[in-house]
Structure 1
């Protein structure tokens, strides 16, 4: 069994357990943690997670953040100026606008028509926000909008309760349910 199949099997076992409806938003988040080197193979096989979800009797939706920064910049009327003077981009990024843009993207998927308390919304492409925004700042903004479950496919590491995106940054603690390919799930 490949590492991705192993993660998908762990996900299936967890998602198949009846969902508690009274848990806090952060506890409705599943962090599917895998080695950063597996990002492309996982994307190629992401359909297996949809299949595992529907086999368990739940619905599946996706939101992809891969192109979010490009779309964010394309929508800015001053984007050309930022590219002419890239050092000014740090001011824009520190304003929280991109964080809010990401939160709205995820929130849009969470609140879309047809999404219910039996829907898993899967977030792909979080590695593409590395260096631009911290996922730890985005997730708390959408927790109250999670009806079913939010599955974040996370290329990085879990060290005890600390998540490290792309293995490169200081970790952050989060109350989500971790599912990993190495059996460190709690």
Structure 2
């Protein structure tokens, strides 16, 4: 594990030692674990360390990987072959099929969370970088946060700017202001 990811794990461990306050708004229960996009494979190789730390803090762990959400959704479409022949058809309808993808993903994630999470569960969302250009992480988090009874941990490959609470996915897209708790991987 790189030193930055070891530090992120340490910051996460410290965060879990603080007793969970009851009655917080859903947005106050969202945690963004921010790390450098070049550490994605290292993080994936060591995600079980985060699960172990969670269990040591006497919390339960529910890992949800959204990496394959879009290809699985595309495979389920009746007209998928037509989209592969003319991919611009998908790009041309920002409120069309892609909004259907986002809605479908949110519905599936909510069902998985409701079925498997309790008030002491950390729901860990992995693979949000794969949504770049297809869906906004902020839309996904907004769509599922109220379904998470414990904490929502979003593994976020990108940047966080504390001066204005701005997150930038993969350091590429214009950031958005979000009031989640940031955990930063620094040396």
- TM norm structure 1: 0.93
SS of the counterpart of 1:112? Answer: helix
Gaps of at least 5 residues in structure 1 are: none
Deviation at 1:18, TM superposition (A): 0.6
What do you get for the CA RMSD once the two structures are aligned? 1.4
Are 1:24 and 2:25 counterparts? Answer: yes
Pairing 1:24-173 to 2, within 5 Å after superposition: 24-95=25-96, 96-113=99-116, 115-160=117-162, 161-173=165-177
More moved, 153-162 vs 97-106: 97-106
Q: What is the number of equivalent residue pairs in this alignment?
A: 182
Deviation at 1:10, TM superposition (A): 0.3
Deviation at 1:92, TM superposition (A): 4.9
Deviation at 1:139, TM superposition (A): 1.1
SS of the counterpart of 1:94? Answer: coil
SS of the counterpart of 2:149? Answer: coil
SS of the counterpart of 1:66? Answer: coil
Gaps of at least 5 residues in structure 2 are: none
Structure 1 consecutive aligned stretches of length 4 or more whose deviation exceeds 2 Å: 91-95
Deviations 1:17-56 (A, max 9, x none): 1101211111111000000000000000101100110000
Counterpart CA distance in 1 for 2:32 and 2:78 is 35
